[in-house]
Amino acid sequence: MATSLEKILNSSESALTLLQVLAENSFDSILVTDASAAGKIIYANKAFKKLTGHDQVEVLGQTPRILQGQGTDKKVIDRLSEALKTGGRFEGKAINYKKDGTPFIMYWRVLPIKTGKKITAWVAIQREGTTV
């Protein structure tokens, strides 16, 4: 099993197709940002649009901060900022807002994508939580 997966992943074209199919069909929302301090969105999947109401193309170049608002717990975001600074991972819940302003509980993870030791991107897996 692992050997066949390795075979597919060894061709960069197949690896990319595999990742695209996984991401586009995931029930969870997936967001990828570049590694800049601002964290500009370079990819959002279909489930992101379903969860937040934001069109995938319209969020490219923006930051995930667009999801935050008055009710967003600053302590949770501080913890995320710390993980971004130190190259660590984050998991947490906070109030976020859909495009139409509807608040909801975001439950998400943020992980660094590294090439060697260098962080090249950040990826988030997001879903609607039930309790903060």
Ligand X SMILES: Cc1cc2nc3c(=O)[nH]c(=O)nc-3n(C[C@H](O)[C@H](O)[C@H](O)COP(=O)(O)O)c2cc1C
Q: Which of 7, 50, 65, 89 binds ligand X (CB under 6 A)?
A: 65
- At residue 25, φ and ψ (nearest 5 deg) are -105, 5
Nearer to ligand X, 11 or 69 (CB): 69
Output DSSP code: residue 90: E
- Please name the residues in contact with 81: beta carbons below 8 A apart, sequence gap of 6 or more: none
Nearer to ligand X, 14 or 36 (CB): 36
User: Considering the rule CB under 6 A, would residue 110 count as an interface residue with ligand X?
Assistant: yes
Q: Which stretch binds ligand X (CB under 6 A): 2-10, 18-26, 97-105, 119-127?
A: 119-127
Contact assessment for residue 66 and residue 59, using Cβ atoms and an 8 Å cutoff: yes
- At residue 23, φ and ψ (nearest 5 deg) are -70, -45
Distance of CA 3 to the CA centre of its chain: 29
Contact assessment for residue 80 and residue 92, using Cβ atoms and an 8 Å cutoff: yes
Q: Which stretch binds ligand X (CB under 6 A): 17-25, 43-51, 53-61, 80-88?
A: 80-88
Residue with tokens 């999801």: 67
Q: Which stretch binds ligand X (CB under 6 A): 14-22, 42-50, 54-62, 123-131?
A: 123-131
Residues at the interface with ligand X (CB under 6 A): 31, 33, 39, 63-65, 67-68, 72, 77, 80-81, 84, 94, 96, 106, 108, 110, 122-124, 126
